């Protein structure tokens, strides 16, 4: 029997699979962040319930020791307080354990996906031959670009965390230490300073929520594309860029990964307008049709030579453009970039569903 001929490895297929794996890992990171935020809130609530239960049990112990001195209504009220607090605490602790288990499952899935990714690397390397050298080179180049995009995003997040919440929390710790020393000397001053302390905590919370929104907007899953864009464009104006959002057609939820894909493309286009084009005005138009959706992001920035920029994509530059094209291609969409030097930029993207 003739030996079976091995089917050649398709570098484009491997590249597509790797991009899907990377996207899944990013999505899991978003879920993990939301669970982590929920867990932090649950821990804070749990500590409050434990303190409340401790106080209630002290009172209940006092009631039991002096049973004859309390009215029946007071005894019943205190008993119900202890019972309900215990039940609330038990329920919250159960949800906390479930959240921890879910986070462990996510981390396990991410590790498996990374192993698959490394296996694809090995497969691509083993398939290299004189006939497939060019394809393998393109595959490796695409992989480097994807990793570079991810690494730059991680660096941005690290900078934002360091300059924002991390620095603010360090200041809050210092302020708390000062309040601790003042409490025995001037309680009234401590009361006044606590107002500033609470405002500082609220500020850190707002910064943290903004970072979580940048990573994976919760409103995208809960409310959909348009409400998320409304919030994003409103916050975007704080950077000094006048922004408008116009919705054409009947607003509706989009299937599959279209909503996060479209949001990320619009977000990238707007960030490019602010950072690179130095635009003063950005207009976003989203059009809904029965079986299609499209978006336009138009700015009045410095513009650029599209053909020249496209020609330099393989060099690893213009990672934002690469990211937008990869996302559009992954959902079988069409991305078009129009720009002239000194005349701004217009990015159009459309998808059928």
- 3-state secondary structure labels for all residues of the chain: CCCCCCCCCCHHHHHHHHHHHHHHHHHHHHHHHHHHHHHHHHHHHHHHHHHHHHHHHHHHHHHHHCHHHCCHHHHHHHHHHHHHHHHHHHHHHHHHHHHHHHHHHHHHHHHHHHHHHHHHHHHHHHCCCCCCHHHHHHHHHHHHHHHHHHHHHHHHHHHHHHHHHHHHHHHHHHHHHHHHHHCCCCHHHHHHHHHHHHHHHHHHHHHHHHHHHHHCCHHHHHCCHHHHHHHHHHHHHHHCCEEEEEEECCCCCCCCCHHHHHHHHHHHHHHHHHHCCCCCEEEEEEEEECCEEEEEEEECCCCCCHHHHHHCHHHCCCHHHHHHHHHHHHCCCEEEEEECCCCCEEEEEEEEC
Give residue 15's Cα distance to chain centre. 24
- pLDDT computed for residue 97 by the predictor: 81
Alpha carbon distance 2, 255 (integer Å): 47
Radius of gyration (C-alpha) of the chain in whole angstroms: 28
What are phi and psi for residue 293, nearest 5 degrees?
-145, 145
In the prediction, which pLDDT does 2 show? 44
Q: Can you give the pLDDT at residue 1?
A: 45
Query: What is the domain class of 218-352 according to CATH?
Result: alpha beta
Q: pLDDT tens digit string along 243-272?
A: 999 999 999 998 878 898 899 899 989 988
**Phi-psi domain of 206 (left: phi exceeds 0; alpha: psi -120 through 50; beta: other):** alpha
For the chain, give every domain's residue range: 11-127, 140-214, 218-352
Q: Over the chain (353 residues), what is each successive 10-residue block's mean pLDDT?
A: 51 73 81 82 85 85 77 77 83 82 78 74 62 56 59 64 71 74 72 80 78 74 89 88 94 87 91 88 95 95 85 62 83 91 93 91
Return all residues near 248 (Cβ < 8 A) that are at least 6 apart: 285, 286, 287, 288
Q: Which CATH number is 11-127 given?
A: 1.10.287
* CB neighbour list of residue 187: distance below 8 Å, 6 or more residues apart: none
Beta strands 345-352 and 292-299, pairing class: antiparallel
What pLDDT, on the 0 to 100 scale, is given for residue 246? 95
Task: Name the nearest CA neighbour of 353 among 250, 284, 260, 256.
Answer: 256
Instruction: Tell me what pLDDT residue 3 has.
Output: 45
241's CB contacts (< 8 A; 6+ apart) are: 273, 274, 279, 280, 281, 282
CA–CA gap between residue 221 and residue 215 (Å, rounded): 13
Contact 103, 36 (CB under 8 A): yes
pLDDT for residue 163: 63
Query: Nearest Cα to 225, choosing from 325, 157, 321, 293?
Result: 293
Q: How far apart are CA 276 and CA 283, in angstroms?
A: 16
Calpha distance 92→179 (Å, rounded) = 31
Diameter of the chain measured on Cα atoms: 99
């Amino acid at each position: 029997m003739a030996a079976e001929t091995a089917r050649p490895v398709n570098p484009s297929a491997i590249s597509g699979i790797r991009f899907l794996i990377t996207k899944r890992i990013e999505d899991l990171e978003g879920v993990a962040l939301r669970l982590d935020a929920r867990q932090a809130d649950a821990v804070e609530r749990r500590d409050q319930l434990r303190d409340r239960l401790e106080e209630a049990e002290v009172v209940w112990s006092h009631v039991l020791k002096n049973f004859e001195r309390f009215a029946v209504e007071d005894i019943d009220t205190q008993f119900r307080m202890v019972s309900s607090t215990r039940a609330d605490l038990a329920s919250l602790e159960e949800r906390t354990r479930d959240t921890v288990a879910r986070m462990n499952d996510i981390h396990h899935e991410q590790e498996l996906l990374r192993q698959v990714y490394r296996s694809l690397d090995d497969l691509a390397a083993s398939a290299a031959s004189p006939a497939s050298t060019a394809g393998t080179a393109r595959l490796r180049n695409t992989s480097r670009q994807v990793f570079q995009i991810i690494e730059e995003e991680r660096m941005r997040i690290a900078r934002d965390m360091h300059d924002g919440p991390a620095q603010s929390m360090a200041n809050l710790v210092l302020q708390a230490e000062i309040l601790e020393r003042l409490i025995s000397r001037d309680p009234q001053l401590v009361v006044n300073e606590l107002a500033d302390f609470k405002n500082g905590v609220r500020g850190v919370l707002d910064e943290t929520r903004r970072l979580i929104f940048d990573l994976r907007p919760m409103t995208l899953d809960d409310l959909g594309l348009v409400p998320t864009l409304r919030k994003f464009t409103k916050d975007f104006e704080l950077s000094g860029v006048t922004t408008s959002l116009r919705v054409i057609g009947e607003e509706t939820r989009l299937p599959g990964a279209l909503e996060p894909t479209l949001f990320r493309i619009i977000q990238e286009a707007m960030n490019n307008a602010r950072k690179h084009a130095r635009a003063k005005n950005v207009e976003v138009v989203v059009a809904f049709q029965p079986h299609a959706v499209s978006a336009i992001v138009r700015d009045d920035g410095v513009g650029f030579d599209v053909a020249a920029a496209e020609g330099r994509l393989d060099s690893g530059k213009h990672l934002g453009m690469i990211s937008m094209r990869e996302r559009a291609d992954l959902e079988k969409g069409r991305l078009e970039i129009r720009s002239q030097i000194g005349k701004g930029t217009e990015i159009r993207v459309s998808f059928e569903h």
